[in-house]
Amino acid sequence: MAEGRDPRFDPLFQPIRLGPVTAPNRFYQVPHCTGMGHALPHTLAAMREVKAEGGWGVVNSEYCSIHPTSDDAPFPFAALWDAGDVRNMARMAQAVHRHGALAGVELWHGGQRSSNLHSRAPSLGPESLPGHYAPWQCQRMDREDIRALRRWHRAAALRAREADFDIVYVYAGHTYLIAQFLDPATNRRDDEYGGSAENRARLLMELVEDTREAIGDRCAIATRIEVTDEDGGGREARDALLARLAPLVDLFDVTIPDYSQEMGTSRFVREASLESEIAHVRALVGKPVVSVGRFTSPETMLSQLRRGIVDLIGAARPSIADPFLPTKIREGRLDDIRECIGCNICYAHDAMGVPIRCTQNPTMGEEWRRGWHPERVSRVPRARARDKVLVVGAGPAGLEAALTLGRRGVPVLLAEAEARPGGRINREAALPGLAEWGRVRDWRLHQIGKLPNVEIFPASRMTAQDCLATGARHVILATGSRWRRDGRGLSSPAPIPSFDDPRVLTPDEVMAGRRGPGPWVIFDDEGYYMATVLTELLAGEGQGVTLVASAGRVGHWMEHTVDQERSQARLIDLGVEIVVNHRVEALVPEGARLACVFTGRNRDIACGTLLPVTSRQPEDGLWQELQGADLASLQRIGDCRAPGIIAQAVFDGHRAARAFGGAEPPVRRERVVVRPDRAARRA
């Protein structure tokens, strides 16, 4: 037992046998997307390595395509199509092995869901149905196509073994090809691969048998599978299938079809939410079971093991927010765990085809290109009083900058105007469903509390004079932003004169408790969560609210964070009237004047109070005033530089602190560079 560990947590550190391999502990990073995949193998390997270093006993890849007929472009999936991919994926496996962890790979065929935008291969499916991303259908697989698929899958499994993976998945979930065969809604075939539940499962059984036969002596065979059909039915047939699979499978990674629950934001879904739905599987299969639940509490993890719900604690987001979560439990440093806040900013970026990042962990995705490590920063050599840094503003950016500078050994004064540090977190974590966002503030304040060289001065609104009077030669401004009252935003880049009216309240004023007469009109021109949570707040207070969105859905960007639909459904249930594809063009004596975004046609609706959620004004007054001041360095970070998401403010604070005391190092780029063209040089 490592020093400091509470022996109660010992079960989390017991090795477990998975067929021919042994996981060193119960911390299991399930396959999760990264936005890196086949395109950024160095970036990917470095990121996965940090998880293994942090103590995750198993580290898996993301969905890994077996063949060009499964191409998810523009999203950078992983691939094992050829020898080049073997080399790239082997880089990840090696990196994971360096720390004694097992490496897993999730072999994947997207079936009708892969539009094959890049490869231009026809998509394949049990039947010819539309794909998700393009207005064309897939090819119904005939027997020869199925035989070919089995060959591709087997070949990919052999390549996975060659790349030195220890666990190889047959991926039967998340509406991809095998799930399309399993599901009675998508599979209406009348041959031996359709019809009865047994027939629909034939392809999965064959692929599992093929994989076992090809590599089962060396690699554990895992399957990721849902416990019901897509519509939530078919549980008995699934139970029978799981039991039939049990002799052939070494590890069951089980989940449910509702992705907005499995991958739910903390606004709608709590920790361990799958438990009641997957708890029966372990007894059914008699093989090791893993499942997820955004586990960040060691107590919950332990309880899952003790009660026999799972054998391994599955995690994607908790391992992103804190790659060193297992180590911190092992060393008895529970208060150091940087808990995921359930915002899904990680997933949102993968869903936009770029590398993941994290609100809580600013180093996520930056391990290779910036060389950032989540637990280590370099000390500033011989930091002395003259290097003292004044950070103004204790929101996410200021807190992160102060913490990271403090860890680098720099003396820091952190001045905050409000009595309570936290900035926007204080306002927003009080909104419906967002309480967990408070972890951004609380974790940083707690960590700062351990640093004798960082002093916090609350209730200290700083003027330029005050800043200079501190004697700090370096000033970092993290003064945030305020929501605009004048309607400027995407729909109206210019201020809207009629919004200069006592009927207008800003989001900041409403969050501070101000209320106006009803009916309320809330204008969502920003597209993220703010308008929807404020609507939920006001509707919950019994106010009559009309939510007007300039996009086709309210909070449309939340489609990336997987909570747009739940959000809109909640507002509908609360009786909110929703008007989409309209902008609020003006306040008129009778109310708010709306304009259709397509035709420009106007209509007026009653409005006692207008709440425009359009854009924010950087609080950069100090920045302007301190220009030309006698300082060694002055910089602005976070929202006062460019108002954005909390993740960006944390990142900017971290970046500034890492760069302190020297030039910002260049950011490495991972790309193909062509060889010099000899013929052209001769010409």
Is 417 an interacting residue with respect to ligand ADP (CB under 6 A)?
yes
Q: Beta strand 27-29 with 21-23: parallel, antiparallel or unpaired?
A: unpaired
* Residue of 28, 176, 347, 529 with catalytic role: 176
Tokens of 207: 């692929």
Choose among ligand ADP, ligand SF4, none what residue 506 binds, the Cβ cut-off being 5 to 8 Å by kind: none
Is 638 an interacting residue with respect to ligand ADP (CB under 6 A)?
yes
Is 393 an interacting residue with respect to ligand ADP (CB under 6 A)?
yes
As measured in angstroms, the least distance from the Cβ of 374 to ligand ADP is: 20
| Contact present, 138 and 123 (Cβ < 8 Å) | yes
Interaction with ligand ADP in 425-484: which residues (CB under 6 A)? 460-462, 478-481
Q: Which of 173, 395, 433, 612 binds ligand ADP (CB under 6 A)?
A: 395
* DSSP assignment string, 249-299: -SEEEEE-S-HHHHT--TTT--TTTTHHHHTTHHHHH-S-EEE------HH
Residue 334 or 417 having the CB closest to ligand SF4: 334
**In sequence order, which residues have a C-beta less than 8 Å from that of residue 597 and are 6 or more positions away?**
491, 550, 581, 582, 583
User: Would you call 236 helix, strand, or coil by DSSP?
Assistant: helix
Beta bridge partners of 392: 415, 477
Is the sign of the CA dihedral 653, 658, 663, 665 positive or negative? negative
Residue 179 or 358 having the CB closest to ligand SF4: 358
Interaction with ligand ADP in 612-631: which residues (CB under 6 A)? 619, 622
Q: What is the rounded distance in angstroms from the CA atom of residue 562 to the CA atom of residue 264?
A: 7
Choose among ligand SF4, ligand ADP, none what residue 649 binds, the Cβ cut-off being 5 to 8 Å by kind: ligand ADP
**For 363-383, what is the HEC assignment?**
CCCCCCCCCCCCCCCCCCCCC
Residue 555 phi, psi (nearest 5): 50, 50
Residue 160 or 321 having the CB closest to ligand SF4: 321
The residue ranges that bind ligand SF4 (CB under 6 A) are 317, 320-321, 340-346, 358-360
Residue 276 or 465 having the CB closest to ligand ADP: 465
As measured in angstroms, the least distance from the Cβ of 292 to ligand SF4 is: 12
| Contact present, 346 and 361 (Cβ < 8 Å) | no
Q: Which of 20, 78, 70 is nearest to 44 (CA)?
A: 78
Choose among ligand ADP, ligand SF4, none what residue 456 binds, the Cβ cut-off being 5 to 8 Å by kind: none
Choose among ligand ADP, ligand SF4, none what residue 417 binds, the Cβ cut-off being 5 to 8 Å by kind: ligand ADP
Choose among ligand ADP, ligand SF4, none what residue 370 binds, the Cβ cut-off being 5 to 8 Å by kind: none
Q: What is the rounded distance in angstroms from the CA atom of residue 376 to the CA atom of residue 395?
A: 22
As measured in angstroms, the least distance from the Cβ of 357 to ligand SF4 is: 7
Is 415 an interacting residue with respect to ligand ADP (CB under 6 A)?
yes
Choose among ligand SF4, ligand ADP, none what residue 340 binds, the Cβ cut-off being 5 to 8 Å by kind: ligand SF4
As measured in angstroms, the least distance from the Cβ of 620 to ligand ADP is: 10
In the residue annotation, 529 being an active-site residue is answered as no
**In sequence order, which residues have a C-beta less than 8 Å from that of residue 417 and are 6 or more positions away?**
393, 459, 460, 461, 462
Choose among ligand ADP, ligand SF4, none what residue 164 binds, the Cβ cut-off being 5 to 8 Å by kind: none
Residue 581 burial by CB count (10 A; 0-12/13-18/19+): exposed, middle or buried?
middle
Choose among ligand ADP, ligand SF4, none what residue 226 binds, the Cβ cut-off being 5 to 8 Å by kind: none
Residue 602 phi, psi (nearest 5): -95, 150
Residue 10 or 625 having the CB closest to ligand ADP: 625
Residue 49 or 230 having the CB closest to ligand SF4: 49
Question: Crossing angle for the helix pair 646-659 and 396-407, nearest 10 degrees?
Answer: 30
**Other C-beta atoms within 10 Å of 677: how many?**
9
Beta bridge partners of 242: none
Q: Beta strand 78-79 with 58-65: parallel, antiparallel or unpaired?
A: parallel
Choose among ligand ADP, ligand SF4, none what residue 320 binds, the Cβ cut-off being 5 to 8 Å by kind: ligand SF4
As measured in angstroms, the least distance from the Cβ of 174 to ligand ADP is: 34
Residue 226 or 619 having the CB closest to ligand ADP: 619
Q: Which of 264, 398, 406, 489 binds ligand ADP (CB under 6 A)?
A: 398
Residue 101 or 392 having the CB closest to ligand ADP: 392
As measured in angstroms, the least distance from the Cβ of 569 to ligand SF4 is: 21
DSSP state of 27: E
Strand residues in 423-496 grouped as ranges (E): 454-457, 474-477, 481-483
As measured in angstroms, the least distance from the Cβ of 422 to ligand SF4 is: 16
Residue 102 or 640 having the CB closest to ligand ADP: 640
Q: Which of 321, 397, 551, 595 binds ligand ADP (CB under 6 A)?
A: 397
User: What is the length of the chain?
Assistant: 683
Which one of the spans 213-221, 370-378, 380-388, 416-424 is the region binding ligand ADP (CB under 6 A)? 416-424
# residues contacting ligand ADP (CB under 6 A): 26
As measured in angstroms, the least distance from the Cβ of 211 to ligand SF4 is: 31
**In sequence order, which residues have a C-beta less than 8 Å from that of residue 674 and are 6 or more positions away?**
none
User: Would you call 392 helix, strand, or coil by DSSP?
Assistant: strand
As measured in angstroms, the least distance from the Cβ of 536 to ligand ADP is: 21
Give the residue numbers annotated as catalytic, written as ranges.
176
Q: Which residues bind ligand ADP (CB under 6 A)?
A: 392-398, 415-418, 423-424, 460-462, 478-481, 619, 622, 638-640, 649
